Amino acid sequence: MEILAKKDATGLNLLEFGPVTIEMSNEVVKALYQVIDQRLSESATAETEILQKKLNAYKVLASKMRAVDDRIIQKFAVQLLPEQLVTLVRLSGTDSFYQKVLRNLSKQNRRQFEIDYQEFKQITVHQACIYMEQIVPYIKKAAQEQRAMQEQVR
């Protein structure tokens, strides 16, 4: 539905919702603006909190990837997009996982990963959450492989 706001010849504010027209004084328009602004601010704050909670959960998940066996990292790392792999490594919060990923890439992929790691310094929280949502299935698969490998050792 299209909403149209305009002033009539007398200076009265008109708000048109399809076939319905509402006349409003300037005070009502100001109050309506304040209500809309407040609601939008509340939803932005709530969205930010949700993103932060997701990011914290993804940081824990990324830090657990440090314990994954090298053979699984070798298969896992090449399945991800460069942005996804960089995000995962950055969220792990340690240099040890960075080194582990480097150690398990081919020479060419290693050089490319180092370049990507330097280029993707400014990943926003929103982008990080999107990349992590995309790679969760790969992480689940890696976790299953890790469990299967540990059971074989027992």
pLDDT at 130 over 90: yes
Q: How much is the pLDDT for 1?
A: 66
Q: How much is the pLDDT for 48?
A: 85
Give the tens place of pLDDT for each residue, 64-111. 998 899 999 999 999 999 999 999 999 998 899 999 999 999 999 999
Contact 13, 23 (CB under 8 A): yes
Q: Could you confirm whether domain 40-153 is CATH 1.10.220.30?
A: yes
Is residue 88 exposed (0-12), middle (13-18) or buried (19+ Cβ within 10 Å)? Answer: buried
Q: How much is the pLDDT for 16?
A: 86
Q: How much is the pLDDT for 7?
A: 85
Q: How much is the pLDDT for 131?
A: 95
Query: What residues contact 73, with CB distance under 8 A and at least 6 apart?
Result: 65, 100, 101, 104, 142
Lowest mean pLDDT among 26-30, 58-62, 117-121: 26-30
Kindly state the tokens that stand for 126. Answer: 């929103």
Helix segments in 14-124, DSSP class H: 26-64, 70-77, 82-92, 95-103, 107-119
Q: Rg of the chain over CA atoms, in angstroms?
A: 25
Give the tens place of pLDDT for each residue, 1-46. 687 888 888 888 888 888 888 888 888 888 888 888 888 887 778 8
Q: What is the residue extent of each domain of the chain? A: 40-153
